[in-house]
Structure 1
Amino acid sequence: MEKSNKIIYYGSTGLLSVMMLMSAGMYFVKHEEIASVFTNLGYPSYIIYPLAIAKIAGLIAIWSRKSNLLKEWAYAGFFFDFVLAAAAHISISDGEQFGAIIAAVLLLVSRFYEYKVYST
């Protein structure tokens, strides 16, 4: 059972990390496209770079596990990011909310199994 918990934890955290790194990378590389999407969603475009940096910092906090407080803040920050992203996409009916929903599910699985793996 312990081995399967680790596989689920590292698998979900790895997939979540790939999604976050791809997202942050797009924020830097395709800034103009992302800025128009953020504007359509009702968010200001000046939050794109800080959000990209926060995503990378959150991944570092989760993977390094140096500080439980920072790790928990990273999980919480990602959760709010995904919920707000899904709500924004649903509110304008563009059908793009599924990425945020998948990321939220991966986040919840990662957090649940992180507790199972490292609490013993």
Structure 2
Amino acid sequence: MSTLTIDPNTADRSERIRSFAYPATTFLIAFELVAGSVWNLLRIEWIDIQLAHLGYPDSLAYLLGAWQVGAAVVILAPGFPRAKEWAYAGAFFLWSGAVVVHLIEGDGIQSWGFPLTLTILAVVSWRTRPADRRLPGAPVEQPTREWTIAAALLVVLYAVSFLTLPAVEDFMHQNAIDLGWITE
């Protein structure tokens, strides 16, 4: 019977990759959840155009926006390992669902490529998260510093989302014209 040995260099390399991959992918998906919530709750033109193109009711924007706020908060906040599982699952269903409906509509990669990328980033963030953000054996209490960092990051992400909204609206309007979803 042979014993399994783990090369310490491989373990170190894996930990270095994880220590970069988790914060990078988590920041990106949290930013997209925050920006998406702003877009949905303020009902920018792009959201209305996309919902109409895909045949969804306008009210779906408010539902998605509210859930995106919750998912961003839970994913960034320390603790809440069970809620994190749900938040990651919701993000996965949101973005993978967007891929599927765009494919069903016959839209090209310019429509489903970005949600596919977000789906992959959500899976990487979920998979590489530290042990204290996972369900088994997760500690109940978290240091105040982690809460402060999570809250500050949310404030910054929302500020950036609101500040960039006018430029985003112009860009997405032109994108909708280029995709042939609207004329103008």
Classify the TM-score, shorter chain: 0.7 to 0.9
- In 1: Cα distance, 2:43 partner to 2:80 partner: 33
Q: TM-score, normalised by structure 2?
A: 0.59
SS at 1:16 equivalent: helix
Once the two structures are superposed, residues 28-62 of structure 1 have per-residue CA deviations (whole angstroms, 9 ceiling, x without a partner) of 34434412311221221111012111111101111
Letter in 1 for 2:119: A
1:1-120 equivalences under 5 Å are 1=12, 2-95=15-108, 96-114=111-129, 117-118=130-131
Distance in 2 between the 1:61 and 1:97 partners?
26
- Percent identity between the two aligned chains: 25
Greater helix proportion: 1
TM (norm. structure 1) is: 0.86
Q: CA deviation at 1:84?
A: 1.0
Bigger RCO of structures 1 and 2 (CA < 8 A, at least 6 apart): 1
Give me the whole-angstrom Cα distance separating, in 2, the residues matched to 1:48 and 1:113: 30
Unpaired runs of at least 5, structure 1: none
Alignment partners' CA distance in 1, 2:49 and 2:28: 27
SS in 2 for 1:100: helix
Separation in structure 2 between the aligned mates of residue 38 and residue 9 of structure 1, nearest angstrom: 31
Which letter maps to 2:66?
I
Deviation at 1:3, TM superposition (A): 4.0
Cα RMSD after superposing both structures? 1.9
5+ unaligned residues in a row in structure 2: which ranges? Answer: 1-11, 138-184
Check whether the contact 1:65–1:71 (CA below 8 A) recurs between aligned residues: no
Q: Write the distance in 2 (CA, Å) between the matches of 1:74 and 1:65.
A: 13
SS in 1 for 2:59: helix
Deviates further, 46-55 or 22-31: 22-31
Letter in 2 for 1:100: P
Bigger CA radius of gyration = 2
Structure 1 residue runs of 4+, over 2 Å off?
Answer: 1-4, 28-33
* TM superposition shift of 1:80: 0.8
Distance in 1 between the 2:51 and 2:24 partners?
A: 30
